[in-house]
Amino acid sequence: MVETYKASEIEKTQLKGKDFLQLSDFSTDEILYMLDVAQELKGLQKQGKPQPHLSGKVLGMIFEKSSTRTRVSFEVGMLQLGGHAIFLSSKDIQLGRGESISDTAKVLSRYVDGIMIRTFSHDSVEELASHATVPVINGLTDLQHPTQVLADLLTILEHKGKLAGLKLCYIGDGNNNMAHSLMEGAVKVGMDISIASPAGYLPNGKITEKAIQAGKLTGSQIAVTNDPIEAIKDADVIVTDVWTSMGQEEETALRLEAFRGFQVNENLCKHAKDDFIFLHCLPAHRGEEVTAEVIDGSHSVVFDEAENRLHAQKAILKLLLT
């Protein structure tokens, strides 16, 4: 039986019109409610029932970083909800020619009902949101990836039947968007999280401290270590990400050396629980951060996870734009 969260009072909170920039902005109840709505929308889609919640609504999608899952899931999600999405690359709009973020935000707010942006600087997303009069959704920055982690939580909930009390282990670059958003999301829903990274690649200190304080409210524990075996011990969920993200290509050789010993492979996974599940936001580099035996093995749920980007984001869109 999958745990669901039914709370009529959450529906009355001001999710409508709110920005979705990082999971730390939301309460535990709000995140659980988003997951409940995602499950509901997924069920309706599987039954072939229409979901015209965003009929007549338009989402502007700004992409300064390329994408497969983010673009397709948001575009399909808007279509399935009865709305429309407009793809805007940095080459297609005046941002690419020096127009200010504030002017772009003010202009787009006159045209569309919401803005999704996938970019490098988290400060740019914050600035966009501060000047926009419509909801702004963070599709990814170098600092945060909240839409992916909401999909991850949905996937864990489906496969484990609960969230609170589970242990999630992240192995790899701790100073990246996935590690940061996983910390924020895990503690909000009562999960423990351990992060194993080499020296020099530990998570952002401010985000870590904020997550530790949030975890005190839910009883969640955060552990950061340089020892992958220590981190993965008795884990219910194992997560990794590429060692070299977009924009870091010049560091590839340095990173391959630094992360030697942090590969998720069958030997390392023997220290996790027997029924662990493996997650990866994709794209993956088989043979680097994870072996093919793990990502293509029986414990892997990476394609369920990828599908759930669609359902989690539809919940965000429905709750923020209606």
Active site residues: 118, 145, 148, 241, 281, 309
N-to-C CA span, the chain: 30
Binding site members for carbamoyl phosphate: 67-70, 94, 118, 145-148, 281-282, 309
Angle between helices 177-188 and 205-218 (to 10 degrees): 20
Contact (CB, 8 A) for 193 and 168: yes
Of 3, 78, 77, 55, residue with least CA distance to 33: 3
Structure-token pair, residue 18: 């709110």
Residue 232, both tokens: 């993965």
Taking the C-alpha atoms of residue 217 and residue 136, their distance in angstroms, rounded to an integer, is 27
Query: Within 10 A of 163 (CB to CB), how many other CB atoms are there?
Result: 24
Q: Crossing angle for the helix pair 302-321 and 69-80, nearest 10 degrees? A: 50
Binding-site residue numbers for L-ornithine are: 177, 241, 245-246
Say how far apart CA 322 and CA 311 lie, in whole Å: 16
Reported as half-sphere exposure (CB side, CA atoms, 13 A), residue 216 has a value of 5
Buried b (16+ CB within 10 A) or exposed e, 296-315: eeebbbbeebbbbbbbbbbb
β partners of residue 264: 290
Check if the beta carbon of residue 171 is closer than 8 Å to that of residue 231: yes
Determine the Cα–Cα distance for residues 135 and 186; give it in Å rounded to an integer: 24
Q: How far is 17 from 192, CA to CA, in rounded Å?
A: 31
